Structure 1
Amino acid sequence: MSDENTTEIRQFLLDSLVEMNYSIDDIDDDTALGPAGADLESLSLAELSVRVEDRFGVRFDDDEAEKLAGMTVGEFVAAVAERRAAAATAGS
């Protein structure tokens, strides 16, 4: 997984949060996406997932919402990068 890849995903995540009216002032890789950190509610997590799916061609199952809420920004970025790499490998 390249640093360029994770940097792109992280920036997209932060840009999406700003567009969704969340403050990113105190958000770093160790910030949880759910209530203990960025405080994304289930609908916001679903919107973020759809944005990431559309942008990077990865998929999150409906039953993963709770898992996503427990992830940190860094874990989420790594999961997207991993799925993106797997999708690229499967498609080649």
Structure 2
Amino acid sequence: MTTTPVDASAITTLDVRDFLIDKQTSEFCSACGSDQLRLMDTWPDVMVSLRMDRLHTSAPKVKEEVLPVAVVACQKCGCFRLHAVAAIVEWKRSRPR
């Protein structure tokens, strides 16, 4: 298993919020329609393990990566969505200062 190197130390909660606004993400839960979404305090310590199996059984290895994510959760139904911290870092880096 490999970890995608991302320096999330310069990213703040406000950066995540501004990223989500700039990218025009929905302010409503995709499951229940509630507007009670919240950025979870656990970011960027939450990691998602991505496993990429090859279609052929003769493939020698399975590639697995760990990706740091920001989690936005619905406070009404518990549905959550993930945003790659690497995308937020790149977005912040590319913004005019």
TM-score, normalized by the shorter chain, greater than 0.5: no
TM-score normalised by structure 1 residue count? 0.28
Write 1 or 2 for the structure with the bigger share of helix: 1
TM-score normalised by structure 2 residue count? 0.27
Write 1 or 2 for the structure with the bigger share of strand: 2
